[in-house]
Structure 1
Amino acid sequence: MRRLVLTAALLALASGCQKSEEKSTPPPMDGQLDPVGDPHSGTDYEPLPDPEAQGGSVGRAPRRLTVSQLDAAILAAVGRRWLTTDGRDGIDARAPSLGRADYALVSSENIEPNLVFAKFLEDGARYTCLEQAKAEIAQPDASLRTLSRTLPGKWDDLRKLTDAQVREFLVYNSTRFWGSPLQGDELTKWVGLFTQAATRVETLAGTTKKREQVLAVICIAMLTDPRFITY
């Protein structure tokens, strides 16, 4: 009996000490957050993918523009819609081949950047860029142009442009087409492409120099670049 009383007294004493310790813990201060454990301390978390295995990206894979998005993007960047030689809508004429769903046999749009898409896109780029360049070379008011807005009001031999003018032209257009400007070594390579195209046009035989082809070359290259058709 004495042992039972002693045991009960010890339990009561231990309980009292525990309660007193709990009461002695200061309450949390206003605005104080509860501590959070380090999620990387264990092995139950999924690490980010290796950027080298993802082409330098750790996010989702790039997606190709839909046919409707491509139509709007060409108009915004070039200033002209893709038409066929007889004046019909080039996008609608090739929409099934470009991946648009017909909702009869195909219920979802194909947005894979395949070879068929690349072939038709190049055809559209050639027509759209060349027609726009022809219109701009005949437009003396630079503010009314799209591709050559940074060039002088009247220009003939594009080899006479300074390096700064060529770079300004390329930075302006790369921002229009891709949303990001050319810079560094890549910009220098594009300057070489522009200079090469301008030299080739001026050395061609004949009295009529097709200088609009210089603008068209840059336009086609930027429009068919993966940075234009993906996001």
Structure 2
Amino acid sequence: MRRWLLTAALLALSAGCTKSPDEKSGPTEDGTLEPIANPHQPGDFDPLPDPEAQGGSVGRAPRRLTVAQLDAAILEAVGRRWVNGGDGIDARASSLGRADYALVNSENTEPNLVFAKFLEDGARFVCIGQANDELKLADATKRTLSRTLPDVWGDLRKLTDAQVREFLVYNSLRFWGAPLEGEELDKWATFFTQAAARAETAKRRSDVLAVMCIAMLTDTRFITY
């Protein structure tokens, strides 16, 4: 009986190890790869959205700066904080979206009309103040907005086109992290020229810096990322 069981086990083992002539045995030969099935079959994933339906971009929607980020960004770009007694960024923080963790537990980062209104007020305060101070500084290295202008500058209508564009590229990098270029740079250069002419008429040369600063600070590229 034991001999019969041993014989049956040997026959079963030999049958399991027998391969057909078409089957490969042993390791894969050098220079060859075992085929792997594609795990991503059609219909297994959502396609990317159409860029034309996303304002030319693909990915998450832009996010608005939080109040803390806005405070730091204004200081970095303009050179001063939005502090105006009881009407600065700290006083307007709740209206700008900061959570108080009493009634509101999450910060609101929607670019609503209230945020836009208070941001414009803040932009006027910091930009006009900074422009007035920089007009008095003869050392360009100590200035923020007008660092590319001559050490002593007066009538900005006399700047060359290259100087105007250098000023705009420098400040667009400060405010947005991306330089103006192409047709948009041409439009901003025209805007600068018009602002310089009006500033001379009003005899307030610092207005040129203030106007350009306000325009860049209230641009959506400054408050979103």
Place the TM-score, normalised by the shorter chain, in its bin: 0.7 to 0.9
Matched residue type, 1:174: S
Gaps of 5+ in 1: 1-11
1:60-79 to 2 correspondence within 5 Å? 60-79=60-79
Would you say 1:226 and 2:208 are equivalent positions?
Answer: no
- Structure-1-length-normalised TM-score: 0.85
Q: Give the Cα–Cα distance (whole angstroms) in 1 for the partners of residues 200 and 98 of structure 2.
A: 42
Contact 2:83 2:90 in 1 (8 A): no
How far off its partner does 1:21 sit?
A: 2.5
Task: State the partner residue of 1:35.
Answer: 36
How far off its partner does 1:53 sit?
A: 1.3
How far off its partner does 1:18 sit?
A: 1.8
1:1-231 to 2 correspondence within 5 Å? 16-18=18-20, 21-23=23-25, 27=28, 29=30, 35=36, 37=38, 39=40, 42-84=42-84, 87-88=85-86, 90-204=88-202, 209-231=203-225
Task: State the partner residue of 1:9.
Answer: none
Task: State the partner residue of 2:4.
Answer: none
Q: Give the Cα–Cα distance (whole angstroms) in 1 for the partners of residues 74 and 114 of structure 2.
A: 18
How far off its partner does 1:83 sit?
A: 1.6
Contact 2:132 2:206 in 1 (8 A): yes
How far off its partner does 1:54 sit?
A: 1.2
How far off its partner does 1:148 sit?
A: 0.2
Matched residue type, 2:113: L
Task: State the partner residue of 1:7.
Answer: none
Task: State the partner residue of 1:4.
Answer: none
Q: Percent of aligned pairs with the same residue?
A: 67
How far off its partner does 1:44 sit?
A: 2.2
Q: Give the Cα–Cα distance (whole angstroms) in 1 for the partners of residues 206 and 175 of structure 2.
A: 19
How far off its partner does 1:88 sit?
A: 4.8
Gaps of 5+ in 2: 1-13
Q: Give the Cα–Cα distance (whole angstroms) in 2 for the partners of residues 165 and 149 of structure 1.
A: 11
**Residues 99, 189 of structure 1: alpha-carbon distance in 2 compared, 3 angstrom cutoff:** same
How far off its partner does 1:200 sit?
A: 1.0
Aligned length: 213
How far off its partner does 1:172 sit?
A: 0.2
Q: Deviations over 1:76-111 (max 9, x none)?
A: 000010021xx4571111011000011000000000
SS at match of 1:22: coil
Matched residue type, 2:65: L
Q: Pairwise CA RMSD of aligned residues? A: 2.4
Matched residue type, 1:224: T
Q: Give the Cα–Cα distance (whole angstroms) in 1 for the partners of residues 75 and 87 of structure 2.
A: 12
